[in-house]
Homo-oligomer: A and B are copies of this chain.
Amino acid sequence: MRISKEHKILIVGLGLIGGSYAQGLSRKGYQVGAIDISQSSIDFALANKYISSGQAEVNKDYVSNFDVIVFALYPSKMIEWIEQYQSLIKENAILTDVSGVKGSNVYKIQSILRSDLEFIAAHPMAGREVYGVENANANIFKGANYIVVPTKNNSEEAVELCKSIGEELEFKNISTLSVEEHDEMIGFLSQLTHCIAVTLMTSKKSEHLAEYTGDSFRDLTRIAKINENMWCELFLSNKDELIKQMEAFEKEFDKLKTAIKEDDEQTIKEMMVTSTQRRKIFDK
């Protein structure tokens, strides 16, 4: 079952990602509504035609209209919302999300969910260093990756519907990972890199860095402008996996450091050749 124009879609949480979903789906002709605690975010999205309806209040009259709900909230808020309001949701609706971690919330949500509802997790691997619906832009999904994260509780129909949302938003690659594979991959690709970027900025105090830097430092620290509340929650909710990835990185970094210390040109060059070969795959 693909997403279709018959489905009414509700976005819960109109931030950068929720707003970009709303914009992208509305442009494709879908009927999109939204709920956000901020009335001004709703007003902005209405004024810009990202949504055709929206409200700050959560009530049955409104929520029960929608066949598909996309949660674009912090993971902890998403769990709270579902616990509090799932009784208002239309029968047989499909729920999905955009959270950056899965182990801490997917199983929990699936276990507490009404039996007629289905939650299928997804992770759009896109973002920017700015926040809020005012910065929403569905173009951030073009060329980006979209990962669907089913569990054994999910139906094929829901997985297909979730994938088709990614297709409508024009993601470049749409793939499937288990919860555990997802959190390992994200621990490495996303969380570890944010840890590195933050550390690079905190480890040296100099007001003149920008005068001396080349592109490399700039590239490695672009993501050091970071929403501390969201990322602290993401780090802590994927703590075990992130620590594992940080330790694997530290071990490998130490291997390079030892090679440099010992003038071990062979090891240094081998690592560089490997990194060059592997990185080239990204440019294809």
Q: Which residues of A contact B (CB under 8 A)?
A: 125-127, 144-145, 147, 173, 175, 177, 185-186, 188-190, 192-205, 207-226, 228-229, 231-232, 235-236, 239, 242-243, 246-254, 256-257, 260-261, 263, 265, 268-269, 271-276, 278-282, 284
Contacts and interface: CB of A to CB of B under 8 A. Distances in A.
Given A257-B246, A282-B221, A216 B204 contact: no
A239 B74 CA distance: 44
- Report, nearest first, the 10 A-B pairs whose CB atoms are least far apart: A201-B275, A228-B272, A125-B214, A203-B252, A224-B275, A228-B269, A198-B275, A224-B279, A189-B217, A193-B216
A249 to B, nearest CB: 5
The dominant DSSP class at the A interface is: helix
Contacts of A145: 211-214
A109 to B, nearest CB: 22
Contacts of A247: 257
Contacts of A215: 126-127, 144
A204 B282 contact: no
Contact of A196 (B173, B196, B213): B196
Contacts of A273: 228
B276 A226 contact: yes
A190 to B, nearest CB: 6
A194 B216 contact: yes
A279 B147 CA distance: 30
A220 B197 contact: yes
Given A197-B216, A210-B284, A225-B275, 6 more contacts: A145-B213, A198-B256, A199-B256, A203-B253, A236-B263, A247-B257
A193 to B, nearest CB: 5
A222 B218 CA distance: 11
27 contacts: A125-B212, A127-B215, A144-B214, A188-B204, A189-B212, A189-B216, A193-B200, A195-B256, A195-B257, A195-B260, A197-B220, A198-B275, A201-B279, A203-B252, A203-B253, A205-B278, A210-B282, A218-B282, A219-B220, A220-B220, A228-B269, A232-B269, A236-B268, A239-B261, A246-B260, A250-B250, A250-B254
